[in-house]
Amino acid sequence: MARKYFGTDGIRGRVGEGPITAEFMLKLGWAAGQVLGCGRRNSVVIGKDTRISGYMFESALEAGLSASGVDIRLLGPMPTPAIAYLTRTLHACAGIVISASHNPHYDNGIKFFSAQGAKLPDEVEQAIEDALDQPIKTVDSSRLGKAERVVDARGRYIEYCKSTVPASLNLSGLKIVVDCANGATYHVAPNVLDELGADVVAIGVDPDGLNINHECGSTEPARLQALVREQQADLGIALDGDGDRLIMVDHMGELVDGDELLFIIARSRHQAGQLRGAVVGTLMSNLGLEVALREQAIPFVRAKVGDRYVMELLQQEGGVIGGESSGHIICLDRTTTGDGIISALQVLAEMMQSGRSLHELKQGMRKYPMHMINVPVSSRVDLGTVALVQEAVKAAEARMQGRGRVLLRPSGTEPVVRVMVEGEDDVLVREQVAVLAAVVASSF
C-alpha cells in the first residue's frame, strides 16, 4: 500500500507546510503512542538536532504521546545515531528523531527507531498512518504520560563512541579539525576526539537554530579543507546536521568521500579477519570501489540508493559494512545505524594501527571518472520499455569495452532521469553521458 506521509527516511518537508506542522506532530505523537503500545513502564525517547523548529515539534510530539498515555524521555539536541543507541540502552519502546539531516534549517522531519535501535518496519509505519486517520482520544487523567529530561544523554553516548575502538587507542600527536555543521554533534564529536588524546580544532559548533548545515558540514566542506591546510592538521572530519554522515579531508586538503572511507574500513576489517559477508554499496557507488575490493578478494554488492536499502541488503547478505558515496556509512559490528562519529573513529583506529596517513590509506582505491546529467521529464517513466534508450545504453556499454558502467535512474524526488556513466577514460565517459542524455531527452 502506498504510504501518504512516510518516505524512505521518515517524514520530511518544509516547516509550516503539511505535514511538517505543529498540529500534525501532535496527532503523530498520539498515533505513534497508540500503535507502539507503550505504557508507563516503557517510555519513548525524543531527540532532535539544532534547528529552531525542533522546540515546536518536540513539544507537540510530547503532548500527543502524553495524551495516548505514554511516558516521554527528552534527550535534547543529540545525533540521530545517539538516539538509536539510547533507545536501546534506556530500554525505551521506541525512539523519535526530530531532524531533516543535511537539509537547511527551514526543513524538518521525523524518524522513528524501534526498541532495538533500528528503523521501523514498513507495516508499523503503515499502522501509524492508519491511526492518523482516527480522532484523538485522550486517556483518563490518571493515565496521562509524564515527561522527564535525560540529563546524562551526552555523556552516555560519548562513552559509547569511545567503546567502538580499542581501549588502547591514543590519538596524541594527531591534529584534527572537526566540522560539526552547527548541528547535533556540536557538543559531542569534539569531546570524543579530545578524550582520545587528539589536538582538536572545532568549527561549526555555534548553533543558533538557523545556521545548521549553512556553508559548513559534510555537504559544504570547502571551509574545512582550507582550515586543514592552514592549521597544518593531520586530517579533517566533516559531519552533517544530525551526525549520521561523514566526509573526511586528508592533510593535503583533499576530500575523502564515502566510497573511499568505506574501502578503508572494509579493508581494515578484512585484514584483521573481522569482515563478514559482502560489503554493500549502492547503484551510485564508484566503480573504483568495486574494483579495489575485488583486488582484496572482498565481495561487493549494490543496493538501491538510500541507507534503508543498504541496511536491508546487509542483513540479507550477512554483512557488517556498507554505505553510500555521500558518507552515510553503516558498521553493524559496532552500532545499528549509520553513524558519522563512529565511522570516523574506525578510520582513525586504522591510521594509528597501520602507521599510515589518511592520504596513504585512500591510495588503495582509485576513483574512476564519473559524470551525471539530470534530464528533465514530464512524468514518471519506465526506461526499460523504450527501445531507443535501451539500444543507446547497449551501444555505450559496447564502447566502454567492459571498463566502465552505465546507469539510468529516474529520480524518486524530482521529475528527472539521472543519466550516469563512469569508466577509466574520462574523455569517453563525458562523450557517452552526453550521447545518452540526448537520447533520453528526445524520447520523452
344-353 per-position pLDDT tens digit: 999 999 999 9
Residue bearing the bigger pLDDT, 301 or 7 = 301
Report yes or no: 343 and 265 within 8 Å, Cβ to Cβ: yes
- 350, three cell numbers: 586504522
| Rounded Cα gap, residues 290 and 299, in angstroms | 9
Q: Mean per-residue pLDDT for 247-267?
A: 98
Q: Which domain holds residue 90?
A: 11-151
Question: Would you place residue 378 in the very low, low, confident or very high pLDDT band (cuts 50, 70, 90)?
Answer: confident
Kindly tell me if the per-residue pLDDT of 260 is higher than 70. Answer: yes
107 & 221 share domain: no
The reported pLDDT for the residue numbered 444 is 77
Provide φ and ψ at 279, rounded to 5°. -80, 135
16 & 147 share domain: yes
* pLDDT band, residue 37 (cuts 50/70/90): confident
Q: Is residue 180 part of a domain?
A: yes
> What's the burial of 156, exposed, middle or buried (CB within 10 Å: 0-12/13-18/19+)?
middle
Quick check: 38 pLDDT over 90? no
User: Which residues participate in catalysis according to the annotation?
Assistant: 101
Domain assignment of residue 198, yes or no:
yes
Grid coordinates of 104:
537547511
* 250, 313: one domain: no
Q: How many domains does the chain have?
A: 4
Structural domain contains residue 159: no
- Out of 350, 367, 384, a domain closes at 367
Residue 90 belongs to a domain? yes
Whether 141 and 29 map to the same domain: the answer is yes
The pTM assigned to this predicted structure is 0.93
Same domain, 197 and 232: yes
CATH of the domain at 215: 3.40.120.10
Check whether residue 300 and residue 224 sit in a common domain.
Answer: no
- Angle made by CA atoms 325, 181, 107, in degrees to the nearest 5: 85
**DSSP-derived secondary structure letter, 219:** T
| CA gap 66, 82 in Å, rounded | 23
Confidence at residue 79, expressed as pLDDT on a 0 to 100 scale: 98
Q: Are residues 77 and 208 in the same domain?
A: no
- pLDDT-derived band at 392 (thresholds 50, 70, 90) equals very high
Is the predicted pLDDT of residue 385 greater than 90, yes or no? Answer: no
Residue 29 is inside which H or E element, if any? helix 22-36
Give the SS3 label for residue 395: helix
Give the Cβ contact number of residue 141 at 10 Å: 6
